Amino acid sequence: MANCFPFRGKKRKKLDSTIKFNEDIDSWKTVIFLYNSALKEVNTKLEILNDEFQHVHQYNPIEYFKSRIKTPESIVKKLKRYGYESSIDNMVNYVNDIAGIRIVCSFTSDIYRIAEMIGKQNDLTVVSVKDYIKNPKENGYKSYHMLVTVPIFLTDQVVDTKVEIQIRTIAMDFWASLEHKIYYKFEGNAPEYISRELKDCADIVSMLDARMLRLNEAIIQAKKENRDAEARRRSMQQAGS
């Protein structure tokens, strides 16, 4: 498959070797340029996938998605938390979510559909997956995370650049935004009753997602039965005339 790629002959690099030699403001700009380019690539892919799905199935699995580049402050904070000094090499190697995309969809089934569509993209490499839906975090957090790399084609080289993709339902997103605010408000040390309440809400969110999914399946089934009944009625009418 690799032979089909148009970048044959160009040097293919990981991001850190591109910036190793001149670690200064220019390399910072280069890195951010690469992450921005990676976001553009993945954004376009998602738009095309969603449009194609709409075209074929008359249905949008993606409600909306948004992307962001991590702020320098958050990058430094994360490196500190991981015990690394702040350098461009370290940020490229150890901070996986400098470029991040969050995809929000209606139903849990959409999450796996979208993840599968992303996984099938030949030029994306799925580096790792964390399924916090099958294995929720202790606080109740649910979401499907994929770390992918996307090749960025420069004039004389191709650089594989990391993007973290989070896929979740609207209800999971609602919960996660509130939890995030509370986490920051209490700097990670929320009172026990608040953590318990949040976990209860996470259980309600899971129940709601399951019910909405069942309801949607029932609607699809009812629509299909209507269509079938209509088709039978028409063919009986034609046979009778």
Q: Given the rule CB under 6 A, which residues bind ligand GTP?
A: 78, 97, 130, 137, 139, 141, 145, 166, 176, 179-180
- Annotated catalytic residue: which of 164, 187, 197, 225? 164
Q: Counting beta carbons within 10 angstroms of the beta carbon of residue 162, is it exposed (0 to 12), middle (13 to 18) or buried (19 or more)?
A: buried
Cβ closer to ligand GTP: 7 or 132?
A: 132
Q: Are 80 and 87 in contact (CB under 8 A)?
A: no
Residue 99, both tokens: 């470029």
Cβ closer to ligand GTP: 18 or 95?
A: 95
Question: Which residues of the chain form beta strands (DSSP E)?
Answer: 11-14, 62-69, 99-105, 125-131, 144-153, 157-169
Residues 6+ apart with CB under 8 A from 60: 50, 53, 54
Cβ closer to ligand GTP: 10 or 130?
A: 130
Distance of closest approach, residue 160 Cβ to ligand GTP, in angstroms: 19
Q: Following CA atoms 189, 144, 92, 33 in sequence, which dihedral angle do they give, to the nearest 10 degrees?
A: -110
Distance of closest approach, residue 157 Cβ to ligand GTP, in angstroms: 28
Helix/strand/coil percent split, the chain, to 5: 55, 20, 25
Task: Identify the CA nearest to 140 among candidates 206, 186, 193.
Answer: 206
Catalytic residue check, 187? no
Cβ closer to ligand GTP: 153 or 183?
A: 183
C-beta nearest to ligand GTP: residue: 141
Distance of closest approach, residue 142 Cβ to ligand GTP, in angstroms: 9
Distance of closest approach, residue 122 Cβ to ligand GTP, in angstroms: 25
Cβ closer to ligand GTP: 113 or 142?
A: 142
The two beta strands, 99-105 and 62-69, are: antiparallel
Distance of closest approach, residue 141 Cβ to ligand GTP, in angstroms: 4
The two beta strands, 99-105 and 157-169, are: parallel
The two beta strands, 144-153 and 157-169, are: antiparallel
> Could you give the residue numbers annotated as active site?
164
